[in-house]
Amino acid sequence: MKKFAIAAATTTALTLTLVNAAFAQQPAQTSQAPMMVAAGEMTEAKEDVSDTWITTKVKADLLTEKGIPGSDIKVETNKGVVSLSSTVAVTDSQKDVAVAITKKIKGVKAVAADGLKSQ
């Protein structure tokens, strides 16, 4: 009976050691897959934030520029391309200034100002 108890204890100890080793390796494998997915999602989020940031910066700069009806100019950004439009008429010089301000902003690849109504 004593030999059986020693054998059972040894078997249990070995089993627990093997199970612990298996579980110790498992978190390393499962934790990397979600991290790679999260990294891909962050890349997409950064692109969206970049366009949002460009739009916000353009709008803020147009609002603070004297002589520009910044509150009447609509700003949209798609992959760094900024589109300016308005429902009110702007002068050619106001249009030129608005385009120049927009082109100076970091991340702006191109400016489309065809939507700005001229007087």
Q: What is the pLDDT of residues 17-33, one digit of tens each?
A: 555 555 555 555 555 55
At residue 63, the pLDDT reads 95
Asked if 86 contacts 115 with a C-beta cutoff of 8 angstroms, the reply is yes
Asked if 53 contacts 107 with a C-beta cutoff of 8 angstroms, the reply is yes
The DSSP symbol for 24 reads H
Q: Give the DSSP H or E segment for 119.
A: none
**pLDDT at residue 5 is higher than 70:** no
Asked if 101 contacts 58 with a C-beta cutoff of 8 angstroms, the reply is yes
**pLDDT at residue 6 is higher than 70:** no
Q: Could you tell me the residue range of the domain that residue 46 belongs to?
A: 2-118
**Chain segment 49-67, per-residue pLDDT in tens:** 589 999 999 999 999 999 9
- At 119, the pLDDT band (50, 70, 90 cuts) reads confident
Q: Count up the domains in the chain and report the number.
A: 1
At residue 74, the pLDDT reads 96
